[in-house]
Structure 1
Amino acid sequence: MQLKGKTVLITGGASGIGLESAKQFLTNGANVIITGRNQGKLDEAKKLYPAITAIKSDVSDADDAQKLFNQVQQLGGIDILYNNAGVLTDPINLGTANGRHFDDAAYEMNVNYLGVIRLNNLFIEMLKSRKESAIINTTSLLSYVPSLLEATYAASKVALQFYTKALRKHLQILNSSVKVFELLPPLVATEMTTEMNGKKMTTADMVKAFIAGLQKDQLTIRIGDTKTAYILNRIFPKLIFNLANPKKSYQIIAS
């Protein structure tokens, strides 16, 4: 996929993977619009990269999403919708009677899954009108193997993965020019993963591999340990489950 001259909208673009993606899209000649819920972070991102357009918006809010679409339309539209925004709640014991189970799951599902569908539905006709366009949905290594500590987060990413595959096929049946990419990052060093143990890829390395996959029209972009998890889960599912859920996870749940 050609990135030069394209306009990309990145949700959750004010920090972490989203901000690094904005930087590297700019380097590759794209125009970049970022969104996020934190105005302060958006302002800091704009200071770092004055060429970007920053719009405050919450993907989980229907009114915000509509306002975002209207603003983007006024700016001339986009060629690439990069659904990067995501949330992860604190670990919780699913085996106990606790009202947080539902609230946390609903929050993650609304942002990580339903928020993506909401934006895709708003922007799909705009994207279909372009000669070459794309939707990029960010799933996870955890869409291949369940996590005991991030159980509902992993479930939201599984839902998104199935939806992404179906959306891609629907658009192919319709002979649409919209390409649907699935990005599967490994554990990346961001604010979200600060408390997590394990080998972490830098945002710069992760996004570099991501951009390379886009340019090669690699519709499923597995990066780093995600490639290993994908293969191992097909051959040795019990092994990959134990690697993803070490004994420390059991101790945290039992405490």
Structure 2
Amino acid sequence: MNTSNNTVLITGGSAGIGFEIAQQLGAAGNQVIITGRNAERLEAAAAQLKNTTAIVSDVSSPGDVSQLVAQLEEKFPGLNMVINNAGYSASPYRLAPGVDTFEKASAEIQTNYLSVLRLNELLLPLLSKQAHAAIVNVSSIVAFAPSINIPGYSISKAALHAYSRVLRITLNDTPVRVFELMPPLVNTEFSKEIGGEKGIPASQVAAELIEGLKNDVYEIHVGDTAGMYQLYLSSPENALQAINAGR
């Protein structure tokens, strides 16, 4: 996949991994559109980025998504890359009585999986018009080995992983290629409550994504995810124990 001269949508692009991807792709000569729920934060991010347009939009809102798609069709008809980066994780919790696990997991699955499915489906007609196009779904190391402290998030990312594999096969005979970016723990505000300061920088995730796109690596295992994947292949139980060590 060419990594310059694209028109790229990045959901959740005002901070963390999304911001770093926008920064690196914008600097490489791509036209970038970032979305997020907070207008002030979004505009502040866009002001720091090259070749970037900000659109306030909540991926979990059907109305917002419909309006976003209409704007893209009108103003960015050459859109050929969608990076589904927006995510949500409730405060760390465990699957135990009295912690409202249904409501927490419902919100996580809505944002991290179902919202991605909806946006991709609505944008596929536009993407399919391009000579070359890509969908990038940002999942996680916990798609292979779920964490006891973020169960709903883990489950939602496992669903996104399965969906990405199915979508890749489904679109095999179209111009649209499906990539999956699978980071480990990343040092961002998003992951602060689960020890994010111990994680890799978001800039590394963005750089490895771009390298993976260049080389048509459809499942991009960033940092420790590569080792976790190999452990998972040899022993899913050992991978599960490793991700939950000391917890």
TM-score, normalising length: structure 2: 0.96
Q: Which residue of 1 aligns with 2:140?
A: 140
1:244 shift after superposition = 1.1
Q: Which runs of 5+ in 1 are unaligned?
A: 250-255
Q: Distance in 2 between matches of 1:76 and 1:108?
A: 29
Query: Post-superposition shift, 1:239?
Result: 2.7
Which residue does 1:87 correspond to in 2? 88
Counterpart check, 1:40 vs 2:40: yes
Q: Return the offset for 1:43.
A: 1.3
Per the TM alignment, residue 97 of structure 1 is displaced from its structure 2 partner at its CA by 3.6
Q: Are 1:180 and 2:178 counterparts?
A: yes
Rg larger for = 1
| Alignment match, 2:217 | 218
Larger CA deviation: 149-158 vs 72-81: 72-81
Q: How far did 1:50 drift?
A: 5.3
**In the alignment, which residue of structure 1 is the partner of 2:237?**
238
Conservation of the 8 A alpha-carbon contact between 2:185 and 2:199: yes
Shift of 1:72: 1.0
- Give the corresponding residue for 2:194: 196
Could you report, residue by residue, the CA deviation over 1:3-49 in whole angstroms, capped at 9, with x for unpaired residues? 22110000000110001100100122110000000111111112212
Pairs within 5 Å for 1:30-179: 30-49=30-49, 51-77=51-77, 78-98=79-99, 100-172=100-172, 175-179=173-177
In 2: Cα distance, 1:195 partner to 1:97 partner: 21
Percent of matched pairs sharing the same residue: 38
Amino acid in structure 2 at the alignment position of 1:183: L
**Using the alignment, how far apart are the partners of 2:46 and 2:235 within structure 1?**
46
**Count of aligned positions:** 245
* TM-score, length basis structure 1: 0.93
Q: CA RMSD in A?
A: 1.2
Q: Measure how far apart 1:119 and its partner are.
A: 0.4
Distance 2:141 2:190 in 1: 15
Structure 2 unaligned segments of length 5 or more: list them.
none
State the alpha-carbon separation in 1 of the partners of residues 122 and 236 from structure 2: 38
* Distance in 2, Cα, partners of 1:94 & 1:196: 16
Contact 2:112 2:157 in 1 (8 A): yes
- For residues 72 and 169 of structure 1, the distance between their equivalents in structure 2, rounded to whole angstroms, comes to 26
